[in-house]
Chain A
Amino acid sequence: MSTVQTSMPVQAAAAGEPSLWSRLRANRNWAALWFMLPAAAFLILFLAYPLGLGIWMSFTDERIGREGVFIGLENYQWLWDDAIFWLSVFNTILYTLIASVIKFAIGLYLALLLNRHMPFKAMIRSIVLIPFIVPTVLSAIAFWWIYDAQFSIISWSLIRLGLIEHNINFLGDSNWARGSVIFANVWRGVPFVAITLLAGLQTVSPSLYEAATLDGATNWQRFRYITYPLLTPIIAVVMTFSVLFTFTDFQLIWALTRGGPVNATHLMATLSYQRGIISGRLGEGAAIATAMIPFLLAAIAISWFGMQRRKWQQGSNND
């Protein structure tokens, strides 16, 4: 861009030349930037900055009320030898794996069921959503009572039915506690999976099922060869989200068990909170939280490559 030269006084005198500021305001490329700015500012301020700060903090020995100094990987070295940390990693993976698989299975089943014609369809669909809309802490408190050592309705019912003799110690025994929090998580997570998959199912043209029926497909074959492959993009997205939510779960565990008994239900998120906030060792808590990132990236990568493989979705777009 040539600037106005003194040798061209006529043009300079015209003064119609817009200022740099007004050119920036009008330029199309800059306009895109202006429009992105609010969203970008929001993301940087509330996501990128805390994330960066957290990672930085994991390299310091910062405590609540005391500025930390850079200590390199010392927090991580410390965690590497920490059995409780590894237990929490194991718990998190177990919790995520089992809960996600069950959520997927039940969610898919419900979605297929709700996709059929049946009476009161709209009402049933809204009922399915209830666990999702109840605040987590409220449902956790309900579960807390359901799992209560003395007043559990499950124990009470089973005793009345004569199936067991003593109350089940739902939240006091390691394995029972793990099973119980997984059940509560599944109960809460199923609607999200079911409704999202249902939305996916409804994008499948009914004529494909009719064509498959005429081609001689049984119910199972229709699912195997039509529904499932067409649903894979949705499954990839919904399961990625489901895994991310489950992996980072905090509220439910904290309200139900606080990681107990004997750390049997401590997830990385709850351990990080306990070490970082409750014990005040911010640096160590941040290191635990940061240690979750590779797992989350792996989960995203798996679903990303899963989506990449589907060639039939690409190709020339001429419909």
Chain B
Amino acid sequence: MASVQISDVRKSFGGFEVLHGVTVPIEDGAFVVLVGPSGCGKSTLLRMLAGLENITSGTISIGNRVVNNVQPKERDIAMVFQNYALYPHMTVAQNMGFSLKLRNANQQDIAARVKKAAEILALSPLLERFPRQLSGGQRQRVAMGRAIVRDPQVFLFDEPLSNLDAKLRVAMRTEIKELHQRLKTTTVYVTHDQIEAMTMADKIVVMHDGIVEQMGSPLELYDKPDNQFVAGFIGSPAMNFLNGHLKSNGQVYVETEEGARLPLATAPTASDGKPVVYGIRPEHLDLASDGIEAEVIVVEPTGSETQIVARIGKQDIIAVFRERHDVKPGERIHLRPRASSAHLFDKDTGRRL
């Protein structure tokens, strides 16, 4: 186990810079998730950590050793690939023992370690199968087994669950987290799925266009997003954003173009009349007799909760209720945001106010 330090790392392909100085400290034993939309540079960063891509500038250290010029095999890391990258001509046992074989470990030692990893992952009955004969979830576990067998300093996961169906993904999510709690190996996990990030991470690093937008614990990111991007990326369904102007004539609120008044709990340090974006999560809206008037567009019941898409003037808003309200499309309802859970962002910079 080791800590990982990524300091001001940049990456250019040709003349095109894709990472613009990324700094991420990763504590020993932490489960860190790099999350962001496609093309944000998260996979590139992971591959640089693995040694599969050169570092254009900045440093990456594993333990206390700078690994910029260290060969991948000497970094003592193990990686699980999105497509698993299992060797198709080797059995499960051979796949898992391959790295040990390359290090000239003796047969008994290899067999013992493979057996142990197989027990952890419930792969024991499948050891003599070939990858072709396995289901997606089993292949995923073999890929993890290959990583575990090596007992590395750091585990790297590159979108490991994106090839699985929704149900299996949830199950594997739990399995990976459980595995981490058991082995306590420092883990860096890349995904574009914010739910994976929220459920698994000790620390989430939200990336966008080659920079780190924010990092912190899942609930920090949920409760206090630094900017509009993070606010919109974390949470499902996504946060509602309503454009308006800040009013602070005695009472503070945001007034939308349609004249609706959106309540605020605290007064931000911004001048009266400033154009702002009012952010409110769907789960922080209540159905009330007063509040913002909206027209119901779609009602989506999922059983545990009901999602209502409503229109305020020209802007759509999504509200989620745990209670079962009897509303129908076309009906006019009143939505009241919980002032204490509202977020305010600068319209121009997107920063939190």
Residues of B contacting A319 with CB < 8 Å?
Answer: 132
- Quick check: A210 and B132 within 8 Å, CB to CB? no
Q: Of A213, A216, A317, which one neighbours B132 at CB under 8 angstroms?
A: A317
Distance to closest chain A CB from B128 (angstroms): 11
- Quick check: A215 and B89 within 8 Å, CB to CB? no
- Quick check: A312 and B88 within 8 Å, CB to CB? yes
- Quick check: B99 and A207 within 8 Å, CB to CB? no
The verdict on A23 contacting chain B, using a C-beta distance below 8 Å, is no
Residues of B contacting A36 with CB < 8 Å?
Answer: none
Stretch at the interface among A109-117, A132-140, A223-231, A246-254: A223-231
Q: Which of the listed residues B51, B73, B129 has the most CB atoms from chain A within 10 Å of its own CB? A: B73
Distance to closest chain B CB from A50 (angstroms): 41
- Quick check: B85 and A207 within 8 Å, CB to CB? yes
Please, how many residues of chain A have a CB less than 8 angstroms from a CB on the other chain? 26
Task: Provide the B113-146 mask, 1 if CB < 8 A to any CB of A, else 0.
Answer: 0000000000000000111110100000000001
Complex CA–CA separation, A42 to B103 (angstroms): 57
Distance to closest chain A CB from B271 (angstroms): 54
Residues of A contacting B83 with CB < 8 Å?
Answer: 205, 207
Complex CA–CA separation, A215 to B131 (angstroms): 18
The verdict on B81 contacting chain A, using a C-beta distance below 8 Å, is yes
Residues of B contacting A214 with CB < 8 Å?
Answer: 50-52, 72-73, 77-79, 99
The verdict on B87 contacting chain A, using a C-beta distance below 8 Å, is yes
Residues of B contacting A314 with CB < 8 Å?
Answer: 132
- Quick check: B85 and A318 within 8 Å, CB to CB? no
Distance to closest chain A CB from B168 (angstroms): 14
- Quick check: A230 and B73 within 8 Å, CB to CB? no
Complex CA–CA separation, A230 to B146 (angstroms): 19
Q: Which of the listed residues B79, B88, B99, B129 has the most CB atoms from chain A within 10 Å of its own CB? A: B88
Residues of A contacting B50 with CB < 8 Å?
Answer: 210, 214
Residues of A contacting B222 with CB < 8 Å?
Answer: none
- Quick check: B133 and A215 within 8 Å, CB to CB? no
Distance to closest chain B CB from A282 (angstroms): 50
The verdict on B98 contacting chain A, using a C-beta distance below 8 Å, is yes
Complex CA–CA separation, A177 to B150 (angstroms): 57
Complex CA–CA separation, A207 to B269 (angstroms): 51
Distance to closest chain B CB from A76 (angstroms): 44
Residues of B contacting A313 with CB < 8 Å?
Answer: 88, 132
Q: Which of the listed residues B73, B89, B103 has the most CB atoms from chain A within 10 Å of its own CB? A: B89
- Quick check: A310 and B73 within 8 Å, CB to CB? no
The verdict on B166 contacting chain A, using a C-beta distance below 8 Å, is no
The verdict on A315 contacting chain B, using a C-beta distance below 8 Å, is yes
Closest to B83 in A: A207
Quick one: which of A206-241 are within 8 Å of B by CB?
207-208, 210-217, 221, 225-226, 229-230
Complex CA–CA separation, A215 to B98 (angstroms): 7
- Quick check: B89 and A230 within 8 Å, CB to CB? yes
Q: Which of the listed residues A210, A216, A221, A230 has the most CB atoms from chain B within 10 Å of its own CB? A: A216
Quick one: which of B53-106 are within 8 Å of A by CB?
72-73, 77-79, 81-83, 85, 87-90, 98-99, 102-103
Known: A215-B99, A316-B132. 10 other contacts (CB 8 A): A205-B85, A207-B81, A210-B50, A210-B52, A210-B81, A212-B98, A215-B102, A215-B150, A216-B73, A217-B102
Residues of A at under 8 Å CB distance from B? 205, 207-208, 210-217, 221, 225-226, 229-230, 310-319
Residues of B at under 8 Å CB distance from A? 50-52, 72-73, 77-79, 81-83, 85, 87-90, 98-99, 102-103, 129-133, 135, 146, 150
Query: Can you list 30 pairs linking A and B with CB atoms under 8 Å apart?
Result: A207-B81, A208-B85, A210-B79, A210-B81, A210-B85, A211-B85, A212-B87, A212-B98, A213-B52, A214-B77, A214-B79, A214-B99, A215-B73, A215-B102, A217-B73, A217-B102, A225-B102, A226-B87, A229-B89, A230-B88, A310-B89, A311-B130, A312-B88, A312-B89, A312-B131, A314-B132, A315-B132, A318-B132, A318-B133, A319-B132
